[in-house]
Structure 1
Amino acid sequence: MKKEYDKTAIRLASILFKLNQGEKLNKKQLAEEFNVHSRTISRDLDERLSFLPFVISQNTYTLPSSYLGKLRLEDINRFAKFASVKDLFGKIDQAFFQKYLTDSIIIKSYQAESIAHKQQEFDIINDAIQKKYLLKFSYKRVSQKEDKNRSFEVEPYKLVNNLGIWYLVALHDDKIKVFSITKISLPQVQNQKFEPNPLIVETIENGDGIYFEGVMDEVILKVSARVAVYFTRRAVLPNQEIVKEMTNGTLIVMCKKVHEQSILPLVRYWIPHVEIIAPDSMKIKLMQELQQYIESPSYTDSYTDS
């Protein structure tokens, strides 16, 4: 699913860039360029990008001269991401983009969680972010015993879509906290304004995930040759950088500015082919978690029964 969204967003960004430069686009030529069916290009132009004021002549699409060069690269990328996940809110039109296409919203991946049933709450939160007002809301916290609602008053910074799930990233009690949009109810914009901290904004925008407290400068991992191809083909790990490829095919991978909870679940998934080299604290924590799992009653009982 993610690959399809990636391909769609990249294709749409390229089409938008061409249009922004004044190129005249032909569906057949675009289909050949991107190696897709002509119906896919028709869907791009006639549905996903239908909000644009196209001038259509002799089977070519172009934009009026008054629109050329108006889009910045970040605008194009934001357009493409929203258009590729259009089912998040339903129909996309010019009014939609005027309302939502702002830097208050970040999409870190192209998977889609439909929050159409939360659009009113989403609008209120987005409005508070853009106008820089404090936000108060009720939040459903699930414990082992019961569901609990707790009231929060926060400085709202960004709406972030990460791995298909929508979150509000906000400052509460001088700490960056993350709230799932589907668990927020009764949001109310307060009368008090706040001044966003540029360092916090940079942290949220540059982070590859939704963990912002306790971020480590770097994590070093070793990837065995048996699975190396998956890591060279795409970034499996957050902020992944391949720093060395050994003669036997083993990779040394570095992940910068990451939280351990962004790394540990992935390492557990790839055991025994991925090993933590540094820091030692993370390596020890992983070993302790695995030991606890092996010694847990549910694990030992399953092998005793067999």
Structure 2
Amino acid sequence: MMGAQTTGDFLVVRVMQILIRLYNKEHLSKAELALEYGVSERTIQRDIMQRLESLPIAKDEFGRYYLKDTNLLKTSKDDLNKLAALFGLSSFPTRLSDDFINMLLSSPVSPLKSQNYEAVCNIDSFEILSKAIMEQKIIKAIHNEKARILKPYKLINHLGVWYLLATYNDEIRTFTMYKLKAIVVTNEKFIPDENVLKNIKEQKHFFATSLEEKEVVLEVNGFAREYFLYRKILANQEIISKDKDKLILSTKISLDEELLSTIWQFIPYVKILAPKELALKNENIIKEYLGYLKT
């Protein structure tokens, strides 16, 4: 039920993310990248050694990849555009301005937090928020019809939806990007909270951290069984039981949409066993959607 992503989309975005992270002076582990992007270590090695072979990439004493020269800004823009054109991806990041790409690749602060793959977003808002993050400036915006004063830390793409990770009243929160209106970057700078930075680095989930988590039990069968078993589709999933036909697993969520947007990709092979109210909510959403298609 979500927009289809082609193999080329996943490939080019993965390589672009790796490229941007290298230019942000990160040292990248092949094993960690493979786990993060759900591909083999051989694929990651091919990304770096073949698709980015024109760049001066080396290994440190721990075998992690890093970029020896981070001053090749023109080369980086050219590489981004060539990759996008090669794989037919025109929405990210080729529509970003040259000035913004230069800033993105030269800033010591990365505005992005990788979450498997990127999806199309509002480019103007993306640039405004990214600059605010890199310049560590407080922003004002309307979210859910309420005025907010935010300290922005990261932009996260989660299950195809962009979110701004920011502190609001000194509490770390996520704000759905398309719901942010009237964004204004102030001239007031903030000093990033070290505890927030540590939390960002260590946590796998950043959604509704102030909300109580609830456990959800799923039944997974058919072709989806292999995906959930071997690729760990849900970051905190735990397998309760398994046989050759199906899996029973549990996961914890804070927002229903965190889970629903994932399992919709595997309909009809994933069923919500508990809690019953979430199963009913899911059923009603699907019925409403199917009714819309008939009109």
TM-score under structure 1 length normalisation: 0.56
- Hey, what does 2:33 align to over in structure 1? none
User: Aligned in 2, Cα 1:72/1:13: closer, same or farther, shift over 3 Å?
Assistant: farther
Structure 1: which amino acid aligns with 2:229?
Answer: T
Percent identity of paired positions between Structure 1 and Structure 2: 16
1:160-199 matches, within 5 Å, as 160-173=156-169, 175=171, 176-180=173-177, 183-191=180-188, 193=190, 196=193, 198=195
Out of 187, 203, 206, the residue aligned to residue 203 of structure 2 is 206
CA contact (8 A) 2:17 2:114 kept: no
**Cα pair 1:241 1:253 within 8 Å, conserved:** yes
Query: Which residue in the other structure is 2:94 paired with?
Result: 87
Task: Tell me, yes or no, if the aligned pair for 2:207 and 2:255 is still in contact at 8 Å.
Answer: no
Within 2, Cα distance between the matches of 1:293 and 1:116?
30
The residue that corresponds to 1:45 in the other structure is: 53
Superposition pairs of residues 216-295 of structure 1, within 5 angstroms? 216=213, 218-225=215-222, 227-232=224-229, 234-246=231-243, 248-256=244-252, 259-267=255-263, 270=266, 272-278=268-274, 280=275, 283-287=276-280, 290=283
Partner Cα distance (1:218, 1:166) in 2: 24
Aligned to 2:142: 139
Contact 1:267/1:274 (8 A) holds in 2: yes
Report the Cα distance in structure 2 between the residues aligned to 1:159 and 1:220, rounded to whole angstroms.
30
CA distance in 2, matches of 1:11, 1:127: 19
Give the Å deviation of 1:223: 1.2
| Contact 2:163–2:174, Cα closer than 8 Å, also in 1 | no
The one-letter code of the counterpart of 2:141 is: S
Based on CA coordinates, which of the two structures has the bigger radius of gyration? Answer: 1
Task: Report the CA distance between 1:217 and its aligned residue.
Answer: 5.8
Superposed displacement of residue 172, structure 1: 2.2
Structure 1: unaligned runs, 5 residues or longer: 22-32, 55-61, 142-147
Aligned counterpart in structure 1 of residue 154 of structure 2, from 154, 158, 174: 158
Q: Does 1:69 align with 2:60?
A: yes
- The 8 Å contact of residues 218 and 270 in structure 2, kept in 1 or not, is answered as yes
CA RMSD of aligned residues (A): 5.1
Q: Gaps (5+ residues) in structure 2? A: 29-41, 71-75, 84-91
Report the Cα offset of residue 224 of structure 1: 2.4
Deviations 1:36-81 (A, max 9, x none): 999x9765334xx4xxxx4xxxxxxx76xxxx639995978xx99x
Paired letter, 1:285: L
Q: 1:108 aligns with which of 107, 115, 128?
A: 115
